[in-house]
Amino acid sequence: MGTGSSGSAARRSPRTGPTVEVLRVGHRPGRDPRLSTHVALVARAFGARRLVLHPPDPGVERTVRQVAERWGGRFEVVGAPSWTAVVRAARGPVVHLTMYGLPFERYVPRLRRASEVLLVVGGAKVPARLYGEATYNLAVGDQPHSEVAAVAVALRELLGPVPASAFDGARLRIRPRARGKSVVAREEAR
Ligand code: SAM
């Protein structure tokens, strides 16, 4: 993982907090590409450095690469044949997000002080071993919802408000409008 809160190009400067990576375990190629792509897009937009996808899915990696080419930053999706290896290589707390865990908000102050955090989300079925491998099993509320929502809320809590500004190297950026759409290309955006 990265070098701490000075952060990557994907994290825009006003935000502080740990460098965060997201591991999505239990992706089902052929069934889950849309959901896993949404996990990746939320991770990118809300300030994570990358998504590690288990098992790998080159289609999701390609889709997210195309988004990053247009909208900037260095966020990437990398495939992992073994989720255990990713968890064991983590250089900071491993936070498994699960409805069965302890309240996430209680752990936010200590997680914000870490230099690196690995957020782990599951899918339809979570390997039982993950509960033992994680540093913390934490719940965003105690109701079942979604890996996309869990990642969004956790990143918002760890990294603060999501700034409305383009990522470094963006070819496109949005001009906020009360109505309609305004997207400008890089040359015009400066
Ligand atoms: N029974 C699962 C669980 O352990 O949370 C719910 C499965 S849900 C379809 C898929 C993923 O969404 C879970 O593996 C978990 O990462 C995330 N998730 C769902 N509800 C959550 C909650 N209340 N708090 C944290 N994560 C949640």
Q: Is the CB of 103 under 6 A from ligand 1?
A: no
Q: What is the pLDDT of residue 6?
A: 37
Residue nearest to atom 10 of ligand 1 (CA): 123
Residue 92 structure tokens? 């900071």
Q: Is residue 147 lining ligand 1, measured as CB closer than 6 Å?
A: yes
Of 94, 102, 145, best ligand 1 pocket probe by most atoms within 8 Å of the beta carbon:
145
Q: What is the pLDDT of residue 1?
A: 44
Domain extent for 93: 19-189
Residue 3 is assigned to a structural domain of this protein: no
Q: Does the CB atom of residue 18 touch ligand 1 within 6 A?
A: no
Domain presence at residue 1:
no
Domain count, the chain: 1
pLDDT of residue 118: 98
Whole-number pLDDT of residue 190: 52
Q: Which atom of ligand 1 is nearest to the CA of 124?
A: 9
The β-bridge relationship of strands 94-103 and 76-79 is unpaired
Shortest-distance Cα residue to atom 16 of ligand 1? 121
Which three-class secondary structure state does DSSP give residue 53?
strand
Residue 4 lies in a domain: no
Cα 113 to ligand 1 centroid, rounded to whole Å: 25
Q: What is the CATH number of the domain that holds 60?
A: 3.40.1280.10
Atom of ligand 1 nearest to the CA of 26: 14
Phi, psi of 63 (to 5 degrees): -60, -45
Residue closest via CA to ligand 1's atom 15 equals 98
Whole-number pLDDT of residue 188: 56
> pTM for the full model?
0.90
pLDDT at 7: 39
Residue 10 forms part of a structural domain:
no
Give φ, ψ of 14 to 5 degrees: -70, -15
Within-domain flag for 7: no
Q: Which atom of ligand 1 is nearest to the CA of 121?
A: 16
In a domain, 133, yes or no: yes
Q: CB of 137 closer than 6 A to ligand 1?
A: no
Distance CA 107, CA 42 (A): 21
Contact indicator for 12, 167 with CB cutoff of 8 Å: yes
- The response to whether residue 97 sits with its C-beta less than 6 Å from ligand 1 reads yes
Q: How many Å apart are CA 46 and CA 38, to the nearest integer? A: 12
pLDDT score at 165: 83
Query: pLDDT digit of tens for each residue in the chain (190 aa)?
Result: 433 333 343 444 456 889 999 999 999 999 999 999 999 999 999 999 999 999 999 999 999 999 999 999 999 999 999 999 999 999 999 999 999 999 999 999 999 999 999 999 999 889 999 999 999 999 999 999 999 999 999 999 999 998 788 899 999 999 999 999 999 998 755 5
